[in-house]
Structure 1
Amino acid sequence: MLYKLFAFTWLSVPLTIVVLLGTATSFIVGFKNVQTYNRATEALDIWVDILGKSRRWGQIARDFVEDKQLSRKLVYRHLAWLTALRYELRRPRVWEGAGKRFNAEYRRFYRVPEWERDIDELLPDYLPPSEAAQALSSPSVPTHILSLQSTSLRMLHTTGCLGSHFYMELHRSLGDFISLQSRAEGFKNFPYPRQYATVSSLFVKFFCLLFPFGLLHEFDKLNDGMTGFMQGNMIWLVVPCSVAVSWMYTSLEQVGESTENPFEGGANDVPISTLCSIIERDLKEMLGEQTADPTVGVIIAL
């Protein structure tokens, strides 16, 4: 308006500067999106591994531990570990963005079970009272449960309830679970580097602010070849064009930001609650116990 009505031509910025800034912004936003996407896919791979190894754990515990009660304890202790791990991964961190407006608006379409019930209510369903109390008093509940599982395996092997070959197989699986837990906790406790995230956000904001001023002179030159109503009014097209391009850049920035933290409880999270429900269903079926299908429901549980 100032450029058109009051001839403030000094507001115009050379288009070359805007193009260079837009190119740099595209590179840094693209880099951020690739890195955050890799974080999300690797976090999903971790839980796919947990899913497969959990089924293997259930098969060995069912088929090669003669005492069915001991077999059931191994399986249920594993379910307790899964429960503790998903609760640990859902604990909020200060850098996470699940509460931001663009994430909060989708919250009505799904639920996060870890925010609805306390872990104190669930662990006694899988562990004896003494073990549940010990685990809940530990600084790291999932790590303590894995320690209990290791002690239990050693006792089963010592008493002859578990053969050496299958003891080694289960112990190897236990080591895999420790490794997978550590990798998942790494994604939870170490966010996408803040310096890259901050620079990306600043570049996008600065580009969106400067972009309309870079178009002023270019659109003003279009008036020379215009006739009729649009003659002298081409400058007004700067508004919709700059809004459209700015929306593209801010959307790309928001996409990257929404996938930075794969366990924060946002709409783009790894669905660890659903995966744990599927594992629980499969392992209980191996024991001959019937459970409800966790995939049935109107509201998606992450």
Structure 2
Amino acid sequence: MIVGKTPRIRMTFVAAWNTLLALFVWDVAVTVFYYFTPFPAPALPLTIFGTGLALLLGFRVNSAYARWWEGRIVWGAMTNASRSLARAVGAALPDHAAGQALRHDVVRRHIAYVHVLRHQLRGQDPAESAHRVLGAAEIPELARRNPANGLLEGNGMRLASALRQGWIDTVQLSRIEAIMVDISNAQGAMERLRNTPLPAQYRSFPTFFTRLFCVLLPIGLVETLGPATPLGSALAGFMFLAALQIGDDLVNPFANTIHDAPLTAMCATIESDCNESLGLPPVPVVQPDGGILW
């Protein structure tokens, strides 16, 4: 996530430079053709076209931002549920050595769970983070198709075992299970966002109409701008291309790009809070790197 205050217009320009270069060459060709041929430029209702395109692009950007913001919301819910789980497990399990060992195991496995989930969403290998938290011993859940869900399920089984041993009662288990259901629901929402792209029409039509509008721009502007048509048309086209690029940047909040939700920082927050609930030192806070918070 970009947290720096300096506008990053250069990044948008780099992403759209090939289309913008083609547009500028087309603008020059239209301008030369207009000045060296007897054919007049047709009058085009660019205002109507531009207004319709702006509405379409605005709708697409809003849809993409809604996905990004929902991703941030469900990770906020995951953070809250993680704190609640650590608190509930600490309050429910008995003070004897075996009970505290189980508490430590459940909370540390939950820390591993959020890191594994982060890697799953970003399409990365979660093994390194899982072993950093849980140690070098084999972690069977990593062999599952959904390792994060395996870790969550394993915690549920451990707490059910505590019930059978009489360490907690059914009311306490029900309250902890309700928190784990919230965690599972948050994971499901994240997976839904990752696995369900915007409908094809939301992606293809804005791209097509933006490029068509850029093709028509110099034809409608050449009589007004004259020799300055390539510059004016390219600048106006860049604004629409930038709006198109914003939608592409925000549509996947877990894409592991500079535009996605700061999963690494949020996982570090969860790990720090859970560690402190166990009396362990917190991990270092993730700081922005070059104005980017990962």
Give TM-score, length-normalised by structure 1: 0.80
Identity rate, percent = 23
What's the CA shift string for 1:222-275, capped at 9, x where partnerless? xxxxxxxxxxxx511322221221111111111111001100011111111110
| Structure 2 residue 109 is matched with structure 1 residue 77 | yes
Checking the alignment, whether the CA contact within 8 Å between 1:57 and 1:170 is kept in structure 2 is yes
Residue 95 of structure 1: aligned partner: none
Alpha-carbon separation, structure 2, partners of 1:158 and 1:83: 30
> Could you tell me how far apart the structure 2 residues matched to 1:297 and 1:28 are?
34
Q: Distance in 1 between matches of 2:191 and 2:159?
A: 25
Equivalence map 1:18-57=2 (5 Å): 18-57=46-85
What CA distance in whole angstroms lies between the structure 1 residues aligned with 2:104 and 2:293? 27
Structure 2 counterpart SS, 1:263: coil
Residue of structure 1 equivalent to 2:35: 5
> Deviations 1:134-187 (Å, cap 9, x if unpaired)?
201111101111111111111111111123222111101111111111110011
- Report SS of the residue matched to 1:9: coil
**Partner-residue secondary structure (3-state), 2:139:** helix
Residue number among 35, 43, 51 corresponding to 1:14 in the alignment: 43
Per-residue CA distance 1:47-69 (angstroms, 9 max, x = gap): 00001111111111122211211
Q: Deviations over 1:42-92 (max 9, x none)?
A: 11000000011111111111222112111101101111211211111001x
Q: Which residue of 2 aligns with 1:211?
A: 217
Q: How does 1:248-287 map to 2 (within 5 A)?
A: 248-287=239-278
Which runs of no fewer than 5 residues in structure 1 stay unpaired? Answer: 92-113, 220-233
Aligned residues: 259
Distance 1:119 1:247 in 2: 39
Structure 2 vs 1, CA of residues 2 and 152 (structure 1 numbering), >3 Å: closer, same or farther? same
Residues 19-60 of structure 1, C-alpha deviation per residue, up to 9 Å, x if partnerless?
332222112111100100100111100000001111111111
CA–CA distance in structure 2, aligned partners of residues 22 and 206 of structure 1: 11
**Cα pair 1:2 1:8 within 8 Å, conserved:** no
* 1:121 correspondence with 2:125: no
CA RMSD between the two structures:
1.9
Could you state the TM-score of these two structures normalised by the residue count of structure 2? 0.82
Q: Which amino acid aligns with 1:86?
A: R
Any unmatched runs of 5+ in structure 2? 1-30
